Amino acid sequence: ATPVLEVKNLRVEFPTRRGTLVAVDDISLTIDEGEVLGVVGESGAGKSMTGAAIIGLIEPPGRIAEGQILLNGRRIDNLPYELMRRVRGKEIGAIFQDPLTSLNPLYQVSEQLVETIQTHTNLTDRQARQRALDLLKEVGIPAAEERIDHYPHQFSGGMRQRVVIALALCAEPKLIIADEPTTALDVSIQAQIITLLKRLCAEHGTSVMLVTHDMGVIAETADRVAVMYAGRVAEIGPVQDVIKRAKHPYTEGLMGAIPALGNRVGKLTQIDGSMPRLTDIPNGCAFHPRCPRVMFKCHTVRPDLMGDGRHDASCWLHEPVEEGVV
Ligand code: SF4
Ligand code: MG
């Protein structure tokens, strides 16, 4: 079957006074129908930028310099602005860290939901309002009949993010890009929102790309995970394989940073050193200055993803062994 999303050799560049900054460097990944792909990494690793490229929201002068993005087999990286705007509402939903990015503070929640629903369907005002109400109930807004006419500021952070999830689901998109959807919320609320998002997407058959710096969230939510480092995919594979049998030394470090899975402390801070600035990416393997297993070759030759195509890592430790030599 055609994957819902296919990203092929994506490269995102920003011209700066000091030269070209490569924010996303030769990224390839796929998301199948109904699948949750976690994208994890430190800030600046390129995960949000990858999400922004997929929904056509790279801020100029940033641009997609190379590669392709396909949604259900159709290229969307080269669409004119108006067409891409339609794709963004109807086929790809977006949920950002700050719910107020998606909600207009000046309009009642009902108006925003109804407008979005009517943009993508032929429903009448009354039908659209009923659909909006159903969605608010589905995302767990109590007393939805009253609250539907409230303004965004009248909701708590967690409730507001539930409204955003309802808004993202309005058009029954094939794919939702959720970028740090719980980072701004109280810790006690985070798990509820993640659980809700996962359940709703499973029920609606929606695929999800979940961008986060929190490996604990990935462990609980994702089917597969892509670990990003310095604009590249360091490792990608089924989430349990990556957690239990990490192939890339960077991922091993991240796992060391999770004292116990399920206890949500998975902050990616325990590896010595810090991720390079994108203007200053080391030659060879970008991780080599921090890598406990660095080899001679790592200083000069950049590794691409290696493995069985299911669980791969960009690391020379996993270079295929030559066969057939007796
Ligand atoms: Fe470490 Fe070399 Fe693997 Fe990079 S390629 S992660 S430096 S062993
Ligand atoms: Mg980000």
Tell me the domain boundaries of the chain: 5-91+171-237
Write out pLDDT tens, residues 293-304.
999 999 999 999
266 ligand 1 Cβ < 6 A: no
The structure tokens listed for 251 are: 């991922």
Indicate which residue's Cα is closest to atom 7 of ligand 1.
288
Provide the angle, in degrees to the nearest 10, between the axes of the packed helices 109-120 and 125-138.
110
Ligand nearest to the CA of residue 318, numbered in listed order: 1
Residues written for the chain: 326
Query: What is the phi/psi pair of residue 74, to 5°?
Result: -110, 130
Which range among 83-97, 239-253, 258-272, 312-326 shows the weakest confidence by mean pLDDT? Answer: 258-272
Distance in angstroms (rounded) separating the CA atoms of residues 207 and 117: 20
What DSSP character marks residue 143?
T
Distance 22 CA to ligand 1 centre (A): 20
- Helix, coil or strand: residue 28: strand
Residue 267 has pLDDT above 60, yes or no: no
Residue 130: other Cβ atoms inside 10 A: 14
Indicate which residue's Cα is closest to atom 3 of ligand 1.
315
Which range among 29-43, 73-87, 203-217, 257-271 shows the weakest confidence by mean pLDDT? Answer: 257-271
Q: What residues contact 253, with CB distance under 8 A and at least 6 apart?
A: 270, 271
Long-range contacts of 269-274 (CB under 8 A, 24+ apart): 274/42
Distance in angstroms (rounded) separating the CA atoms of residues 16 and 10: 19
Determine the pLDDT at residue 75.
97
Write out pLDDT tens, residues 124-143.
999 999 999 999 999 999 99
From the list 226, 174, 224, 218, the residue with the least C-alpha distance to 28 is 226
pLDDT band at 89, cuts 50/70/90?
confident
The structure tokens listed for 128 are: 């659209």
Determine the pLDDT at residue 324.
64
Which neighbouring-strand residues pair with 140?
none
Determine the pLDDT at residue 257.
62
Indicate which residue's Cα is closest to atom 5 of ligand 1.
315
Which neighbouring-strand residues pair with 237?
225
Residue 263 has pLDDT above 60, yes or no: no
Percent of the chain with pLDDT strictly greater than 90: 75
Residue 316 has pLDDT above 90, yes or no: yes
Write out pLDDT tens, residues 169-220.
988 899 999 999 998 888 888 888 999 999 999 999 999 999 998 888 899 8
pLDDT band at 326, cuts 50/70/90?
low
Determine the pLDDT at residue 270.
56
248 ligand 1 Cβ < 6 A: yes
CATH code of 5-91+171-237, in short, is 3.40.50.300
306-307 sheet: strands from edge to edge: 92-95, 175-179, 207-212, 36-40, 224-229, 232-238, 312-313, 306-307
Average pLDDT score, the chain: 91
Query: Structure pTM?
Result: 0.91
